[in-house]
Structure 1
Amino acid sequence: MLSRYNRVIEINGGNADISLPIVKFPPFKLRAQLIEKDPVVWLHLIETYVAYFEYLMQGANVELLDESTLDHLRLFLRTYLHEIADEEGKLLSLGINHDVSEQLYLLKGWIFSLIKKCGLLHLQIFGDSLWNLIKVYVRRNPDSIRGLIDGSLKPRINTQRVQLDKSYQVQQHLKQLIESGKFKRIDLRCVEDLLSAKSMQPNKFAENFFTANWIEILEALWAKGQGRGHKEARELIIISLFSVSADRLLKITKELGISNFETLALYPLLGTMLINEGVHKRLPDLKSKLLFLNLGGLSMDEGDHMSYPISSGTEVNEEQLSALMELFPQFSKYQLSQTLLAYDNNIELVTNKIFEDPTIIEAFPREAAEEEVEPVSDGDNASFTEELSILDRGDSSKNKELDKKIISEGVPDELRNKTLTRALKLLYEADEDERDDTYDEADVNRSDPSKRIGLQEDEESYDTKDDSNEVRQDHNYHIVEAYLWNLLKEDPKLFERSKRGTKVRKTMKEMTSWSDEKIEGWCRMLERSPTRARLLEKKFMFKGNSKTGKTSYVHNRDSQNDGNVVKEQAKQKKSENIKKHEPQSTEQKKRQHAKNEKRKGARANHNRKKGHDKKLARAGNNAI
């Protein structure tokens, strides 16, 4: 009997997304504490991680992860790679459990298998994480790491995605590490393993990694040996050169436009390596590929003249030379003969080299250089000695040896002699500009008390010297400075040269009795001497233009004049004291009495003006 109801069984072959979150890998300090205090907990945690990745590697489980779980997995991989890479060179614990070490090794293997299965793009491993991946796995798995970087190792999931070459990202990351000062020896070792570690397959990664862009990065870091990372750049280019073939070097030099020593000089770091004998021993095919290296190394002498290579051989096969001249009529006989000598008269090799790179023959001059040296006559030698007499100023023994060598051996080339003379004059000429005497008058007048200016003429002139004259002159000079200081603060343009002849400048000259040069020189003196400007500002801005007197000793170059004046004044005072003790005649007594009566206001306690000035000076010093 059939059932009244028909049962329909629906079978759905799809699988639900897997939601299995994972926590981040513990940091270094937490791992160290777990190992020391509770290693059992740490062991169970690692075993859980291992079981987790074993499950992901079964079938297509990793493809069924939902977005949240996939994000947690990516975060875990970044933290794991960072912590394990940073753990290199550090002591995690003195005594680690054997089971813990075994489980960590299993976890490391499962994670690398997952990365190879999914690929770098799916797990979003780039930048710092990519370099950490290299540091962790490149020593034991160089082929797999190279395949992940250049994209040759295809993932088993998401095969439709294009795997890009990450070599440029690695180069840029190395540049950032060096510029930031974080490039260490372990990073250098990883680069060496990445480029030159032995592998089961031909190492094409180093050939592709060595690019023109990589050379330019290293040249920028080198900075002619003055860069911050010049040592790291030198070590990296040595590793790169020893990891590639001569054919790859030839291709890179063509991309950079290097065909002779002049163009090689544009890349000093690469040029230093290519002309090094140690590099030639490690790369014996280098000279056969880079033909200009066979020419012996062009150099620049002291006169900036190119010194061309000279072959060790002296005999040239005339038949071969004639054949080359018929084959290459555009080159001179001397160029072809020197090229034959450079390649040991091998005409077939020379022909091939010229066809491949015609610039190698252009390194030789078209005509032979003149080698005859004519002795210099005594007259020419004497004139040359006079021209180089300027070198006597220098105390360097090196310059003296150079003079003796030039004079004794003679001058081989008259043109080079003149060039050398001009260069030496430019090097050792101390006074290239004329001496500026703008401030001489102001300095002399300021330092020599006998020549200081006064705005008013002295009403009285006496035979005997008195301190009141110097006080009056100092006072007048301070008045002039105060007047000019106020004008300078109001408008500094009044002291420019363009203001000569204006009404304001005429007024300034009348008030100070100074010339235009002296007024302008006073302003320039303040511009070049900020210390004196500050002193004037303190004196005239904050003290009410009061005379404070000289507060510090300033050593002038004309201090000898002051010393002479002081000595003369001391002699005069001494002679006056001697005369005072001598008996005077009646006429002399009357004349002296008349002078004393006439100058009563300037003697003893009657000099009120001088006492007032001293009082103001003391008040100004107390205010400071």
Structure 2
Amino acid sequence: MNLPPIAPFPPAKFRRDLVPEEWEACLDAWLALTEAYLRLPPKEFVRASVDGSSLVSFLTSYYHQVSRAPRDDQLLHTSRAPSLRKPAFLLAHRILSTEAIPASLLRWTFLVDISQVYPRSKSLQDLLHGFWTRRRMELETGCQKLKDALTKALESGDPDAAADDLRQLAPLLHVSPDAGLSLMTGSDFVDALSAGYQKASSGLRPTLVTVTYLGLTSLIKASKPNHSLLFDHLYSLKANTELQQKSNPHHPSLLSDLVTNTPILLKLRSTITGKDAERARDLSATLGSFRRASGARPKRLVRRKVDKGKGRIRQDEYGHGAFDGIHVHRMSLVSQVQDLFPDLGAGFVIKLMDEYNDDVEQVTAHLLEDSLPPHLRDADRTEDVGEPLVQSHLTPRSTPPLLPTRRNVFDNDDFDNLAIDASRLHIGRKNAAQTADTILSDRSTAPAHAAIISALAAFDSDDDERDDTYDISDVGGTVDTARPGSDDVDADIGHKNEEALFAALRTSPEMFNRDTATRRSQPRTALKSETGMTDEAIEGWAIMLARDPRRRRALEAKYATFGGQQRELASTAYRESPAGSGTEDSDAGGRSGRGGGRGGGRGRGRGGNRGSAAGPADEKGTQVARQRKEASKGSRANHNRRDQRARKMARGGFPG
């Protein structure tokens, strides 16, 4: 059965020239033909939906024109125009569910257009998920080209050139988490969004925030959530923001706008569960410091009708001036929501505020997730503020008979009751002739001498002195400050991790680079498995070590020069020094300070007839002793005794 071709949907310029009768005739023809195409058997429907056919041209033109139609297009708001949306969706659903999909429907522009027409359709979300699963290669190729073009435009000097593509991309990211996962793979797109935010105009920045939020949350909503990639992007935004704040602390950043005006932190705390939940909560607490104190953005420059102030002033129930019945603080909240969703009318936003108790974060979250109640989901989103919404309901009241009086501490005193003696009254200074010398010389009010002596006796000047009995410098040894118990195990693990990290840093410093290739490399994986640390902790350790040269030298001395083996073990047994060695352990006569000598007098040994090197120079025994001392100095190692004592003290020995 050969059906007649179906005409494309006309552009807005052509629709303006149509009279209502002609427009109704076009709607009748489209409704009849779409119904006929839906009734075709599968084989005939596949032949009728090939690329370049009238059916495919109608679908692409219909979604392109409806998604970009101006608000004042009256033909699309007639009673019969919305009836074409359902058969058009059924045709698109049938074509995208087949294996032979036309190439024009695989382009990202068609997916963006259909997402804008059905932004809250659960059926479209399921359709695009299955469609993405079956044709992932072709769709990711198109998304990669789009990402490259957007990245190049955002990193250029004029990021506003990508404003139209970014605004069209937001509905697709909301409907299809798979598209967001494809765009967010890699760090180039997020870095480009952060860089473009610095150069973008005030009108483009809310769009950049929305695209960033939808892209990051798509990593959570995907069929296989990628929490690690989400954390990497947030840490990257944090690092970029810290660098920007150093150069220009007052300039706004993408991350501060993101955590202030979107529920991204709430998503981290409430959505992520399992082993990544604790890390998500810590990251949420860290990113909370970038939240701006005032959540209101600078007002956008929007051309509105000039109000010359000739109207009648309206007041709220408290008597304060209000704009169209809305208090001024509420208008600031409405402007915050309209910055992110410029297509919403002020009247519709006020209904959202009433529903969620003026909580901008909840309103934004429900709008982005399309989880509004039924009475708000079906309401007119372009509704503006009309007549005063707040009317005074206070009934007239008579003036109170008695006005409230002010009370203070002097009520009902002698002055208040006029019971004061006239001698106590004076004007100005009471004693105008009194000077400082007369006040000091007056001893009538001075404290007694006994009170001063008793106060001094009660004062102990030693109470505030610190007890330094067990200070390390006074003890003369080493004090073990390690905590007992299970903390010793943690200290051992920390020392092992420190040794492994320092060894890896010495052999290959590039292992600590902060890029995706290094994090996925085999050496980094082995290091994480050995230490049990995350990528951020390993990279942070290297950064902190580079900032602390003293600690690096300590680690080099600890792990680079000592191999873990002690080749020599010096003897610690006591040995009597030779006679006359002159060390501090021996006296002038050659006797040891600890055990004493076997002989007495100047000599050593039996009878002292051998002489001493410290004896008179004219004696023969002294000369012989000196020659013997010089001859055997190397064998007895007398010259090394002071060094040996110093080593012994270093090992923890104490003198005496």
Q: Answer whether TM exceeds 0.5 for this pair.
A: no
With the shorter chain as reference, the TM-score category is: 0.3 to 0.5
Structure with higher RCO (Cα < 8 A, 6+ apart): 1
